[in-house]
Every structure is written in structure tokens, then in C-alpha cells.
Structure 1
Amino acid sequence: MNKTQGLISLLRFELPFSAGVCVVMGQILALGMFASVPETILGFFSVFFISASILVLNDYFDVETDKINTPDRPIPSNIVTPSEALLLSIGLMFFGFILSYLISPIALLFTIILSIIGFLYNKEYKQSGLPGNLMVSFSVGMTFIYGGVSVGLFFNNIVWFFGIIAALIDFGEEIAADSMDVEGDLLINSNSLAIKYGKQVALQLSSYIFFFVILLTSIPFILNWLPAVYLVPIAIMDISIAYSSLRLLKSSNNEDEGRKYIRWIYLGSTLGLLVFILMRLLYV
């Protein structure tokens, strides 16, 4: 691997790409159609660069741990120096700020907040347990809301609804995933809920969060934000979450099975969201 390949691999392309897709989804949720090409490009790439910057920063701060766990990563394998990784992270962040500024001052503020959260998480809170879980899930939810911001619809009810839902689902998944990774987390001095209070307590808390999500999905219909036709994608999401959460509670002694049901929650929620967006494009 040469230096260029090493620098590119630091970006972990699929993750910032997913963040950019969440922004585009937020735009569609807000508008009921695709945004204009300039709005789509600016929205997608501003968050893509910020997300990539945070991921590069993760490798910068994790270099000592990576020397043991993943010595083939670009920095511990000496393909990329820490200073080069830091400069790349700053450059990516700079591009993200420029693109978000071209959207609006509020969009720039959002990307600054995301960058600050990413920096603090990487430097101080990765092993903190609950605070770190909250920071990650908050950032996930913000990508959807940023989609609304990028098309001038900051206060759109549907965007905020799905932003909160996405944050809570990710929060529950983070806690549940920690309960499946106790042995590895002990080696890095993690302060996860599963380590502090036990796997079963962590899984119970994650299940409470998931069932709270199911309760929240009724709000758009109670408040008449959405017609009844949208019960179809919401039902797909709720059934997947409910079934997988119940199975997850019984998997505290089987990490592989637990990870499977965490994956099912993610896939079921994603499928429900995609069906919702498709219907949004068709029915507005």
C-alpha cells in the first residue's frame, strides 16, 4: 500500500458515504421530493467531508491501540505518519465547513457542532460508556435534521421525527452492542453500562429504548402529520424492532445471536425508512 492508498483508507469511505445518504434522506423527508442538484451535492459532500475528518481523527488518536489490535492500519504500519493524518483531517474538515457555509450559516453551525462532538468523542469519550453512546447517537440523528436544514426547512416535523427516531435506535443499538463486546471492552478499559452493571441490565435498558421508539412512532398519526397510508412503513419498522428486541433480551449469553438481532433491528428500521421515503416521493 502506498501513501495515497493509505490516506484514502483512513477515510473508511462507506461510513461518510452513509452519513451523506442520511442527509439526502433528510432532504427528501422534508421536501417530499429530491432536492435540487446543487442542494443535494452541497448537503451530501459537506457532511461526507466532516464525517471523513472525524474518522481520520479516530485513527490519529487510536494509534497506540491500533498498534496492538490492527497493526496493518495506515498509521501503525508507518504508511502514513500521525502528522499527515492530522493534516488530512483538518483539510477534510475545512472543505466540509466551506460547503456547509455555502448552504447557510445554520448549516455551518451544524457541521461545527458535529466536528466538536467528533473531536471530543475521539479524544476523551470513546471508552466513557453512556456519554460516548449519547454522542454517537446524537450525531446520527443530526445528519437527518441537517438534511432539512440544507433545504431551508429546519423546523420540519417529519425530519425532526425521523432524526429523533434514528438517534434513539442508534442509542439502543450502541448499548446492546456494548453488552456483546464486554471481553474486548475490558481490555481497553471501557466504562460501558454492560461492564458497570452487567449484560442483562444493559440489554434491558436497550429494550426499553426500542419500545419507547415504537410508542413514539404513533405521534405523527395522533397529531395528523401523516395520513394512514404511512402506517405501512412504520409497521415494518415497529414489528422488526419489537420482535428483535424481545429476542435480544434472551441473548445475553450468546454474543453471536445478540449481534444478529441487533443487525435485524438496524435492517428492519432501514427497510421501513426506505419504504417511507419511497412513499414520500410518490404521495408527498
Structure 2
Amino acid sequence: MAAVETVRGLVELTRPVNVIAASVLTFIGSFVAGGVTAYPLQTGAAVAATGLAVGAGNAINDYFDREIDRINQPERAIPRGAVSPRGALVFSVVLFAMAVGFAVTLPVVAIAIAGINLLALVAYTEYFKGLPGLGNALVAYLVGSTFLFGAAAVGEVGPAVVLAVLAAIATLTREIVKDVEDLEGDLEEGLNTLPIAVGERRALVIATGLLAVGVAASPIPYLLGYFGAAYLVVVVPADAIMLYGVARSFDDPTAGQVQLKYGMFLAALAFIIGRGALEFGGV
């Protein structure tokens, strides 16, 4: 039973939902760049590298966050004793090494993006998480860059740039809301997150402003001709869900950030539908 619990804990460290989500975003980046069918091996390598790197980053994040998680998330694998801190660190290193193995098979631009992102994942918790806004911005960049990585893997970054920016804005909004949600534990740990530095309400106002910019910019991929009209049909409700989520965060940050996540997933689906409709249906 102990071995089963350890395996379960290791899987939990990777945050499987986040791993899948990031891998899907990389796939979308390749798809938008028109490279999924033309370069299937490169697309597969990019998706694998992304999933492994995200899993490694989440594991090392839990390693560095193990004390604060005893307050904020005591059910996580390290605080509850399913995985030792050393075990989590070794597991993270193995996943990082596997991610590098896949990444080095890709074009130079993709390798450069992967290298920057791997360094950012390692540095996030230790150096950036407690800096007001900077840690949030780094996470937002990492999410947005998955689109760029997928596109670079098949040799065409241009169409993914706008998607990367939109994804980064939505992620930055959610990260600020999550910091409001985690305020108690962050105070206990002595971190200086944005809600601590400027106040909960002001941080949420900033998050709302950022999301409003993202929502206003969301039609740009359609206007640039990257996506068909079907994109708008899906992205409009995604925008509405995210706006509802950030509004709800003023009363219930936990529920608000969940709504933001749902809206972001729907927006990612809009990217696929919009590109697919243009490429195969012409609308």
C-alpha cells in the first residue's frame, strides 16, 4: 500500500490536469501553425517535452513550497507524507532530463524557448514567487509560451504570437486571483505577493483590468485571418465565463479562479475550432 501511495503522490506532484492542459496548448500552437500533419514527429516531441517540463516544474514547486503547503494545501503529496522532499526533488530532475531529451530534437528556435522555460520553471518558486506581480507574470509567460513552442517546433511562430499574448493575459488574471485565495498562507510564509503589497481589492481591480484588455483583444486572431468565424462563436462565451469569474472573485476568490480556468479551457477550444473551421471548412 505504501508503494501505491507513493506512486499516487508522484503523479499528484505533476498536476496531471495542468500537464494535459499545457500539452494541449503546445499541440494547438503546432496546429495553428499548420504543422500537425506536415510535421507529426516534431509536434509529438514538443507535446512530450511540454508535459514533462510542466510536471517537473510542478514537482519542484511543491518541493520548495513544502512548508507553506502545510498551511495552504496540507493534503498535497509532500505535506501528507506520500512523497519525501528528496524524492520529489529527484523525480523533478528525472522529468526535466526527459523533457530536455525531447526538446533537443526540435528546431533551434524551439530549443531556445524550451531552454528559457526550463530555467524559468526552476527559478519561479525560489526567486520570483514572492515578488509582487513578477511571479504572476512569469507564470503567465510560461503558459503563453506553450503556443510559441508548439509553433516553433514546426517552424512557424507568427500565427501563435497573438494567441500567446491572449493566453498570458488570462493566466496573469487567474494567478492574481489565486494569490488572493492563498493570502493567509503567503502571509504566514512571509511572501510579498501582489495582494499583500497593494491590498486584496486593488489586486482584484488590476486583475479585472487585465482581463478586460484580453477580452477586448480576443477578436484579433479572427480579424487577422488566422481563424474562421466559428472562433468568435466559441470565444464569446469563453470571455463571458472569465469575466464572470473575475467579478465573482471579489466575494469568493476560490470559486472565481475555478470559473477563470473553465473560461480559459473554452478559449483554448475556440482556437482549435477557429483554425479547423478555416482550414477545413473555409468559415
With normalisation by structure 1, the TM-score equals 0.84
Distance in 2 of aligned mates of 1:69 and 1:146:
32
Distance in 2 of aligned mates of 1:193 and 1:51:
24
The 3 A distance-change label for structure 1 pair 206 and 35 is farther
- 1:216 paired residue number: 217
The within-5 A match list for 1:80-99 is 80-99=83-102
- 2:256 paired residue number: 258
How many angstroms does 1:57 deviate by? Answer: 0.8
Pick from 51, 66, 71 the counterpart of residue 63 of structure 1: 66
How many angstroms does 1:166 deviate by? Answer: 0.6
Q: Does 1:148 align with 2:151?
A: yes
Q: Does 1:225 align with 2:228?
A: no
The within-5 A match list for 1:259-278 is 259=257, 261-263=259-261, 265-278=263-276
Can you give the 5+ residue segments of structure 2 that lack an aligned partner in the other structure? none
Pick from 103, 107, 112 the counterpart of residue 109 of structure 1: 112
The code of the aligned residue for 2:97 comes to F
Distance in 2 of aligned mates of 1:269 and 1:143:
15
Distance in 1 of aligned mates of 2:98 and 2:121:
16
Does the 8 Å CA contact 2:140/2:169 hold for their aligned counterparts? yes
The 3 A distance-change label for structure 1 pair 89 and 179 is closer
How many angstroms does 1:112 deviate by? Answer: 1.4
The 3 A distance-change label for structure 1 pair 271 and 60 is same
Distance in 2 of aligned mates of 1:172 and 1:152:
30
How many angstroms does 1:273 deviate by? Answer: 2.6
The 3 A distance-change label for structure 1 pair 101 and 168 is same
- 1:282 paired residue number: 280
Q: Does 1:38 align with 2:41?
A: yes
The code of the aligned residue for 1:21 comes to V
The code of the aligned residue for 1:31 comes to G
Cα deviation per residue 1:236-282 (whole Å; 9 max; x = unaligned)?
42454257526734652344553464345335423433432432442
The code of the aligned residue for 1:14 comes to V
How many angstroms does 1:213 deviate by? Answer: 1.6
- 2:139 paired residue number: 136
- 1:163 paired residue number: 164
Cα deviation per residue 1:11-38 (whole Å; 9 max; x = unaligned)?
2322222211111110100007545431
The 3 A distance-change label for structure 1 pair 187 and 274 is farther
Distance in 2 of aligned mates of 1:176 and 1:68:
18
How many angstroms does 1:167 deviate by? Answer: 0.8
Does the 8 Å CA contact 1:29/1:280 hold for their aligned counterparts? no
- 2:50 paired residue number: 47
Distance in 1 of aligned mates of 2:78 and 2:172:
30
Can you give the 5+ residue segments of structure 1 that lack an aligned partner in the other structure? none
Pick from 114, 117, 128 the counterpart of residue 125 of structure 1: 128
TM-align CA RMSD: 2.8
Cα deviation per residue 1:140-168 (whole Å; 9 max; x = unaligned)?
011010011111113x2x21111111111
The within-5 A match list for 1:194-209 is 194-209=195-210
Cα deviation per residue 1:38-67 (whole Å; 9 max; x = unaligned)?
123211111111111111111221233344
How many angstroms does 1:69 deviate by? Answer: 4.7
With normalisation by structure 2, the TM-score equals 0.84
The 3 A distance-change label for structure 1 pair 105 and 5 is same
Distance in 1 of aligned mates of 2:231 and 2:122:
35
Does the 8 Å CA contact 2:178/2:253 hold for their aligned counterparts? no
Does the 8 Å CA contact 1:177/1:262 hold for their aligned counterparts? no
How many angstroms does 1:202 deviate by? Answer: 1.8
The 3 A distance-change label for structure 1 pair 106 and 244 is closer
> What percentage of residue pairs aligned between the two structures are identical?
24
Distance in 2 of aligned mates of 1:13 and 1:219:
31
The code of the aligned residue for 2:197 comes to K
Distance in 1 of aligned mates of 2:195 and 2:85:
33
Cα deviation per residue 1:147-203 (whole Å; 9 max; x = unaligned)?
11111113x2x2111111111111122123333443443333332322222333222
SS of equivalent residue, structure 1 residue 31: coil
SS of equivalent residue, structure 2 residue 33: helix
Does the 8 Å CA contact 2:20/2:51 hold for their aligned counterparts? yes
